Amino acid sequence: MADDTALSLSRNLLRLAGSQLTIHHQRRIPTTGALIIISNHRSLLDVPLLMTAVGRPVRFACHHFMGQTQGIKQVINALGCFPLAPPGQHPKALFQKAMPLLQAGEVVGLFPEGARPMIQPLLTRQVGPFHRGFAHLALQSSMERLAIIPVAIAPTKEIITPIAPFKLFQWLAPSEPLFHRPGWHPAIYYRQVHVIIGQPLWITAKHRASYRNSRSNTEVKRLTQTCHTEIATLLQNSSMLSTDE
């Protein structure tokens, strides 16, 4: 029932926002088993957008601010999201929350760019540098079948509008350095957007052995760069896509 609620809410949020979604290569997504979904990130609509595209409930990690703000908190709970730890707290909080979900065969969603593109939006075909937490999570997992699915969100029509002064966000989340700036927090609403599913990257015993034996995190760097390159390529090629799929 909770799964149905999350999917239904995602579709309703996109409908309410007036977002026209075109999904490409949806058949690349396994219909069962544990998955890690990663994507570029520029809008609050990215969570319902990706959940609708995947067609399965996705347990997204979200900014700690969203888990402590009334109104937003209720929505992310209904979507099945789990807040990350505030700055300065131990990063293992992600693993403590996400690993049991993967072991239960669920889908976990992460935005490796972090929250910065929400504050300082990039151009629609750009992707920022990635944090490596998703790669560590995948390589520390123990399930026999686990895939990382890189996904590109490529809007063709969007609206950027200010929603509130950063001073308000500073008051609500004083520990978050991203909010310590002048001006207003922007919000992006998609009007037309492509969601392009990349090739699954299956995590094998060989990958995990290389990860355990590497002192320089070579396997983490390789996996992170592979996923970044895949999403960047999908974004660059998105101009050739049609809305007929």
This prediction has a pTM of 0.92
Question: How confident is the model at residue 243, as a pLDDT?
Answer: 64
Task: Report whether pLDDT(160) > 50.
Answer: yes
Question: How confident is the model at residue 12, as a pLDDT?
Answer: 94
Summarize pLDDT for 80-114 with one digit per residue, the tens: 898 887 766 656 778 889 999 999 999 999 999 99
Question: How confident is the model at residue 35, as a pLDDT?
Answer: 97
Q: What is the mean pLDDT of residues 147-174?
A: 93
Give the architecture-level CATH label for domain 2-173+181-240: 3-Layer(aba) Sandwich (3.40)
Summarize pLDDT for 163-187 with one digit per residue, the tens: 999 999 888 888 888 899 999 999 9
Summarize pLDDT for 61-70 with one digit per residue, the tens: 988 778 777 7
The per-residue pLDDT of the chain, averaged, comes to 90
How many percent of the chain have pLDDT more than 70?
Answer: 95
Count other Cβ atoms within 10 Å, centred on residue 183. 10
Q: What is the mean pLDDT of residues 123-133?
A: 94
Question: How confident is the model at residue 1, as a pLDDT?
Answer: 45
Domain spans of the chain?
2-173+181-240
Task: Report whether pLDDT(79) > 80.
Answer: yes
Question: How confident is the model at residue 240, as a pLDDT?
Answer: 81
Q: Which residues contact 56 (CB under 8 A, 6 or more apart)?
A: 3, 7, 29, 31, 107
Q: What is the mean pLDDT of residues 186-208?
A: 95
Task: Report whether pLDDT(203) > 80.
Answer: yes
Q: What is the DSSP string of the chain?
A: -HHHHHHHHHHHHHHHHT-EEEEE-GGGS-SSS-EEEEE----TTHHHHHHHHHTS-EEEEE-GGGGSSTTHHHHHHHHT-EEPPPTTS-TTHHHHHHHHHHHTT-EEEE-TTTTHHHHSPPPTT---PPPSHHHHHHHH---S--EEEEEEEEEEEEEEEEEEEHHHHHHH-TT-GGG-SSSEEEEEEEEEEEEEE---EE--HHHHHHHHH-SS-HHHHHHHHHHHHHHHHHHHGGGG--S--
Question: How confident is the model at residue 89, as a pLDDT?
Answer: 60
Cα separations in angstroms, 104 against 91, 161, 202, 206? 22, 39, 17, 23
